[in-house]
Amino acid sequence: MIVSIESKEDLIFPDSCIVWITKINDKLLVNSDAILSPQIEIYPDIRLNGKWVVYDGYKVTEIDENGNKKILKNSIEDKVVRYVYAEDGLIPIYKSFLGFTFGNEKFDEYKSKYGFIMLLNGKRARVILPYGQFVDVEHPKFYKIFRDHVDLIYDNETLIIYRDGRRERYKGEKYLIALTSVGRVFLSPNGRILLDSSAYDLMGICTEDMEFIGETRNGIIISCGNKLKSFYRGGWSYIGSFSYLPVIDADYNHISINDGNVVNVYELDSDKSSKLFNVRALKFKDGKIILISKSGTVFKLSFSKDTDFLKIINDKNSVELPYIIRIDKKIASDFSLSKNLIDVEKVADGDGFVLKLEPFKLSNETEGSITFKEEIFEYQFPLKVFSDLPDIEVESGHIIMAKNGHLKTDPSSNAILKLKMRFKIPSLLRKSILIDVGNKKTKVDLDRSVGELDLSIPFFKLSLDEEVVKISVLRDNRVELKKEFIVKTNLKMMSKNSKKTSYAVIQDMSKRTYKVYNDDLFSWEEFSEEPNIYENIYYAKVGDKLQIEDKIIEVKDGLNQVKVERPNYSRTYFIYGVSNPLRDLKVTLKESDVIFDLVKDEDSVVTVIYGTNYVTTKNNKIKFSIDPAYNTIIIRSYKEGIRFETSYMLVDFFRNCMLKAVVNAKYLAQQLFLE
């Protein structure tokens, strides 16, 4: 089933809002959840009256009938949950810690859906309609917002308020879903689907959002959550799942249901269907499809069987010409191909264009298809493409191998494959040949479809046996053809008369001396190895500067590794940073003694020198008789064979000693006087 375009017209539908199509009598109107929508009719005529007021990122923007924009708010205020457009201005609804504020009134609950706004507090409810009118009513027991009306349930009564402000009341506590050929369909607050006819009282259960979709030859179609169901003769049939309600609709003989970006339109009296794309809203009317595309175009579509839109110019792909067809632009300006065909070139040609194609995989015959694209639909036509096949022929090939040697230009290879070959690849795409020999794969890009190659390919070989050479033809990086050939090996030995060079390589405590022999293709190496012992461990004081070969190293605490490297030379050194075991000194005077308290590592040995006296000990406390002639103490500590020497000045030491002597003298004089 193919749809064709009867008419299309671009209108303005901002991206930031959801739009859907509503059927009112014989007209189709467009509604939205924008702050303010214009009045839009799209069938049978197209009319737009009014302006849009929408969120535009973090702004509020007004858009007139010509698409001119005017910023009403440069930024959305903090705590604003929505703006209401009323009396030619924006009124904010604020969210606060205790609820919501609209104007000067406080509300406990707020809900916005399909352009309706519900504000409720303890006693009453305010319904704000999509065009800015306010309706104040008593607080309902339950309420539900549908696409085109709000239902409020009270004791044994339901109030319905439509988008245009009209009101209706029904007895009973139930939401109105639709008026159908078998009666009114209702939904109770606990999810019971009810019918007011005597034939079926309880139709079923739906505890999710429910909408009436339409009525077909197969029964009543409703949505329950994201599931589409059909009610017919007392039972429900599951139709499928959908993800976007505005593109779901049904009439007597058609139904639409989306799968992601694809809308499938089914004809119920046959097994035919059609796929639509980029649909924003859809409705069936008078046997036609009326839809709004994502670009904002309103399409009127009818069902068609016309498929005469292309002409085959050349039906065979060869090295001279590809497969060629001509396409009329009245079907589409864009296209896509089935996975087994490739678009090579597109050239404009009058009121159409010429397309050059190739099979995805070159074969004698390929059955594929071409799909012509508009924004909202695709037409698919079968194509049968004939093609020549690719081919390669090896004229000659041999391998030269160096025993115990390697190629001068590639030290990882010890052999070279010499190969002459012819190729023929019927394609305008990127072409290359892949040669697989030994451990090496070599890709050669081609700039023509027919030609010859003379190749030299290095690789690594373990034995003198014949080698299997695998050759693949690649077209656009895909393998088109594989062939294998057996190639013999010729051995080349090292000659002592060849040009010789030598060099040495030092690696830590090993020294290798190399002798290199060269001919026009290969190199051979001989080497000898001997110990090369060096001092690789150093102990030094933390913070000292230590020179290791040509490096100056600042010594850090603990074991540290240093590597000295240059071409053909690498040595590793270990530097152990030793810190002073003596960390602090405290000096006190007691009678005629000076006492030194040492803060040091446990069991470390120190020599303390005071004047002409010294002591070597592990103890932390040392005592000397006061010698006023000296006010410097020298402490030598030892760790890991390294000596640390620290001098301390005994500040004001003489003064403290003299003061103590004077005090003692005065005390002695007093005692003598008393006697």
Q: Which domain holds residue 362?
A: 310-387
* Cβ–Cβ < 8 Å for 216, 229: no
- Run of H or E residues at 610: strand 606-610
* Per-residue pLDDT at 605 exceeds 70: yes
- How many helices (H) and strands (E) are present in the chain, helices listed first? 1, 67
Q: Which residues pair with 588 in a beta bridge?
A: 595
Which is more confident, 614 or 88? 614
Give burial (CB, 10 Å; 0-12/13-18/19+) of 42: buried
- Alpha helix stretches (DSSP H) within 31-135: none
Structure confidence at residue 657 as a pLDDT band (50, 70, 90): low
Three-class SS state of 265: strand
From 516, 547, 578, give the residue that closes a domain: 578
pLDDT value of residue 365 = 93
pLDDT value of residue 124 = 93
Structure confidence at residue 655 as a pLDDT band (50, 70, 90): low
pLDDT value of residue 304 = 72
* Per-residue pLDDT at 675 exceeds 60: no
pLDDT value of residue 662 = 64
Same-domain status, 572 and 602: no
Same-domain status, 321 and 372: yes
pLDDT value of residue 5 = 82
Same-domain status, 469 and 396: yes
Give the span between the Cα atoms of 348 and 354, in whole angstroms: 6
pLDDT value of residue 667 = 66
Give the span between the Cα atoms of 436 and 342, in whole angstroms: 27
pLDDT value of residue 539 = 92
Phi, psi of 674 (to 5 degrees): -70, -30
Q: What is the CATH number of the domain that holds 600?
A: 2.60.40.10
User: Which pLDDT tens digit goes with each residue over 473-509?
Assistant: 999 988 999 999 999 999 988 777 778 888 999 999 9
Tell me which DSSP letter residue 80 carries: E
404 located within any domain: yes
Same-domain status, 480 and 398: yes
* Cβ–Cβ < 8 Å for 423, 473: yes
Q: What is the chain's mean pLDDT, rounded? A: 90
Same-domain status, 513 and 463: no
From 335, 360, 387, give the residue that closes a domain: 387
182 located within any domain: no
Same-domain status, 515 and 595: no
Give the span between the Cα atoms of 367 and 359, in whole angstroms: 9
- Run of H or E residues at 660: helix 653-674
Same-domain status, 472 and 410: yes
* Per-residue pLDDT at 4 exceeds 90: no
Same-domain status, 468 and 509: no
* Cβ–Cβ < 8 Å for 461, 489: yes
596 located within any domain: yes
pLDDT value of residue 230 = 92
- Provide the CA 485 distance to its chain's centre, in angstroms: 46
Give the mean model confidence (pLDDT) for residues 601-626: 89
Pairing of strands 391-402, 415-424: antiparallel
Same-domain status, 361 and 399: no
Same-domain status, 567 and 590: no
666 located within any domain: no
Q: What is the CATH number of the domain that holds 344?
A: 2.60.40
User: Which pLDDT tens digit goes with each residue over 368-413?
Assistant: 999 888 899 878 889 999 999 999 999 999 999 998 888 988 989 9
Closest CA to 107 of 130, 136, 129: 136
* Cβ–Cβ < 8 Å for 303, 3: yes
User: Which pLDDT tens digit goes with each residue over 517-553?
Assistant: 888 888 888 889 999 999 999 999 999 999 999 899 9
Interior CA angle at 128 toward 125 and 133, to 5°?
120
Give the span between the Cα atoms of 505 and 58, in whole angstroms: 68
Structure confidence at residue 10 as a pLDDT band (50, 70, 90): very high
Same-domain status, 316 and 381: yes
- What's the pTM value of the predicted model, to 2 decimals? 0.56
Give the span between the Cα atoms of 476 and 376, in whole angstroms: 31
Long-range (24+ apart) CB contacts under 8 A made by 619-623 are 621/595, 621/596, 621/597, 622/595, 622/596, 622/598, 623/593, 623/594, 623/595, 623/596
* Per-residue pLDDT at 200 exceeds 70: no
Same-domain status, 415 and 336: no
Cβ atoms within 10 Å of 500's Cβ, excluding its own: 12
Closest CA to 175 of 199, 214, 149: 149
647 located within any domain: yes
pLDDT value of residue 308 = 63
User: Which pLDDT tens digit goes with each residue over 66-85?
Assistant: 999 999 998 888 899 999 99
Give the span between the Cα atoms of 117 and 104, in whole angstroms: 17
User: Which pLDDT tens digit goes with each residue over 18-41?
Assistant: 999 999 989 999 999 999 999 999
602 located within any domain: yes
Provide the token pair at 215: 């009525």
Contacts of 102 (CB under 8 A, 6+ apart): 84, 91, 93, 94, 119, 126
Which is more confident, 307 or 650? 650
* Per-residue pLDDT at 653 exceeds 70: no
pLDDT value of residue 359 = 93
667 located within any domain: no
pLDDT value of residue 221 = 95
Which is more confident, 364 or 630? 364
- Run of H or E residues at 656: helix 653-674
430 located within any domain: yes
Q: How many domains does the chain have?
A: 5
Phi, psi of 382 (to 5 degrees): -75, 145
